Chain A
């Protein structure tokens, strides 16, 4: 319908191609820029990009359609995306969104008639400790309220470019409330690399082994093991990737590490590169954190000048290593390491079949290490202070400390670093949780812990976590929380395998049905059945864990749903009579046959 004509598309895109070349693996980067120029990916651009990269048009369209921050239809000059994470929801984001839409005569998900603006919701933007949050053309807005929205409405009305908006709107705080060995101790850039060079790679790998360091991204795989497997794998090139996708709702510690500890993280990567023999590293930064891009580029530039990146690092002949930042585009699944690698290669983020694992066949089929931001920061500390020092902190199977991103119903949300083994009730005391009723540990894919289990401890032995810690006080509606999580997974499933693509939709539908008071015992059985299939048959970790919130609720929070159930065995999923209303209006009928009870 929209009369978008782009007669000069070739000229407009020429500088983009100039910057990125014509390799197919540049596709995602190119599309990100196309999106910025036109506020969507016009069909003409798809044709142009396809012919330039020499790939089928469908491949370009496939990638453009996969990422939420790329759009095939116009989303207006301004796109305001409200974070729909459960904490933003508790802080009133749905009402704020409604207020804004009302004010500007907008319907969420649709572009205004003058093609100026659209409003929609998006998955957690990682600002849970300073919400309600949103993104305007990809830039984070924090601490939203009606006054700020009024201001934003005026700025948009005046067509002021986002870069000229008042900076207070974009203020992001670190909120470090409790610092331990990782966050609290001073660090001199270069120290970890120097220690590695002095000690030698093999010996540094031994220190990693002695430290017992396990991955902080969720799975908890031994870092020494991963690095030695990669080091031993034959390949033309080796790669190290820092996973800064941080997509798990409620997690925001990597944002703080990248904002204030970027040197430590880069150093961990450089140490890793030395050990596995990589000359190229990537930092995969989630699209939501693109506001950190400039700052991170500056850190990298500074490190190049200081001889900490580039050729002959710290004067060591042949020690060449550099880091390239790669921006994501709004996709949770791209945090899964093999999907992340696909995305780095410019493709849709579809998890690969494993084995082979990335350590032997990763980026461009070469041996690749993918590690979480926090893991790499820990590795840098270990390179300096040794494995034994690290192993003395925490518990036997969970050495060192863990950074938690605490948000929800507590007085002091923010970043807390604890030695592993800390009990939930201690954490809850520290953050000023008011009458806590449940905690979601490690985000929707983690565990929903009821208050009687607050004695449990953060550790791989008991409650493993990638960092999210969301507090719910008594009186919060657990069903509503689980509904939020079910919607999240249905939205983020990559759609590749049926158990997850269909399972997450069924879950969402059934939970919605129960919420609307149409649920029956039959639906509970169905939820269990679907959950079991998802856990056992899905292709990747997303599908394996996407049933966790629902199953946790069924098992541990019967009060959340029992009163909502109808007691007969089956209820239609939708309102039968209501679904006839449109046709009644159109035909003007109101006879007995035009109704269903």
Chain B
């Protein structure tokens, strides 16, 4: 084996359910092949908290709060290629269902009427990420290079996409990998 530099990959989940990450893990034993050519930077697998310079950044989930923006911008600044994975990152997906509900109604319902953990009050700790009025797709906040659709995309789709990208080919997905009916 010659000493080829490993491709550095970071992943994160913003407003998502980790389903897309689970699907990535579903490539099963191929993970070993993958780890032969890549190394992980910040990901939920490594628990590295901040992203350093990377080749590929994979983002799951949409943008729902201020913290999501910080993470997303950090990814954009550090990753040569940024990939939106799954319906949530691409369109807002399931979390964007809240877009039809007024934020104030939402807060009242959760914290005032039902009685939250701290009694009837709206949490205002600066440590808590402040939510946006709506959930946004990530391409509205940063430039995105690739969109990998699905909820989640299948393990095979992710594998094909990543191997194409890693081997320097323009990723190409057959119809079979993109249709869900």
Contact = CB atoms under 8 A, between A and B. Distances in A.
Contact of B130 (A570, A572, A587): A587
Interface stretch (A322-330, A430-438, A577-585): A577-585
B140 A583 contact: no
Contact of B143 (A522, A576, A595): A522
Nearest to A584: B130
Interface in B114-152: 122-124, 126-127, 129-134, 136, 140-143
A83 to B, nearest CB: 28
Contacts of A522: 143
Contact of A586 (B67, B107, B129, B140): B107
Given A582-B103, A596-B69, A569 B124 contact: no
A154 interface: no
Given A586-B104, A586-B107, A596-B69, A579 B126 contact: no
Contact of B126 (A581, A586, A593): A593
Contacts of A476: none
A579 B130 contact: no
B130 to A, nearest CB: 5
A576 B133 contact: no
Given A579-B134, A582-B133, A594-B130, A587 B69 contact: no
B142 A583 contact: no
Contacts of B35: none
B66 interface: yes
B143 A569 contact: yes
Interface string A561-576: 0000000011011101
21 contacts: A522-B143, A570-B142, A572-B141, A576-B69, A579-B136, A580-B131, A580-B132, A582-B103, A584-B130, A586-B103, A587-B123, A587-B124, A588-B124, A589-B130, A592-B126, A593-B126, A593-B129, A593-B130, A594-B126, A596-B66, A596-B69
A591 interface: yes
Interface string A355-369: 000000000000000
B69 A589 contact: no
Given A574-B136, A579-B132, A580-B66, A586 B122 contact: yes
Given A580-B132, A586-B107, A593-B67, 6 more contacts: A573-B140, A580-B133, A583-B131, A583-B132, A586-B104, A592-B126
Contacts of A587: 122-124, 130
Contacts of A581: 133
Interface in A168-185: none
A583 B69 contact: no
Interface residues of A, number: 23
Nearest to A502: B91
Contacts of A570: 142-143
Contacts of A589: 124, 126, 130
Contacts of A586: 103-104, 107, 122
Interface in B146-167: none
A583 B136 contact: no
Contacts of A588: 124
A580 B130 contact: yes
Contacts of B136: 573-574, 579
A594 B103 contact: no
Contacts of A596: 66, 69
A592 B142 CA distance: 21
Interface string B77-99: 00000000000000000000000
Interface of A: 522, 569-570, 572-574, 576, 579-584, 586-589, 591-596
Contacts of B141: 572-573, 576
Closest 9 CB pairs of A and B: A573-B140, A587-B124, A591-B126, A570-B143, A579-B132, A582-B133, A572-B141, A594-B130, A582-B103
A580 B134 CA distance: 9
Given A522-B143, A572-B140, A583 B133 contact: yes
Nearest to A522: B143
Nearest to B137: A573
A569 to B, nearest CB: 7
A583 B103 contact: yes
B147 to A, nearest CB: 12
Contacts of A593: 66-67, 126-127, 129-130
A595 to B, nearest CB: 8
Nearest to B140: A573
B133 A579 contact: yes
B145 to A, nearest CB: 12
Nearest to B104: A586
A39 to B, nearest CB: 24
Contacts of B134: 579
Interface in B24-47: none
Contacts of A580: 66, 130-133
A303 to B, nearest CB: 52
Contacts of A584: 130
B99 to A, nearest CB: 11
Contacts of B103: 582-583, 586
Given A582-B103, A587-B122, A574 B130 contact: no
B104 to A, nearest CB: 6
Nearest to A520: B143
A594 to B, nearest CB: 5
B175 to A, nearest CB: 14
B140 A574 contact: yes
A596 B70 CA distance: 9
Nearest to A577: B66
A591 B103 CA distance: 20
A591 B133 CA distance: 18
A312 B54 CA distance: 83
A574 B135 CA distance: 12
A399 to B, nearest CB: 47
Contacts of B69: 576, 596
A584 B132 CA distance: 9
A584 B66 CA distance: 11
B104 A594 contact: no
A589 B130 CA distance: 9
Q: Which of B123, B124, B129, B143 has the most CB of A within 10 A?
A: B124
A580 B69 CA distance: 11
Nearest to B106: A586
B143 to A, nearest CB: 4
A580 B143 CA distance: 21
Nearest to A572: B141
A562 to B, nearest CB: 21
A480 B69 CA distance: 31
A592 B130 CA distance: 11
Contacts of B104: 582, 586
B130 A583 contact: yes
Nearest to A580: B130
B158 to A, nearest CB: 23
Contacts of B127: 593
Contacts of B124: 587-589
Contacts of A574: 136, 140
Nearest to A569: B143
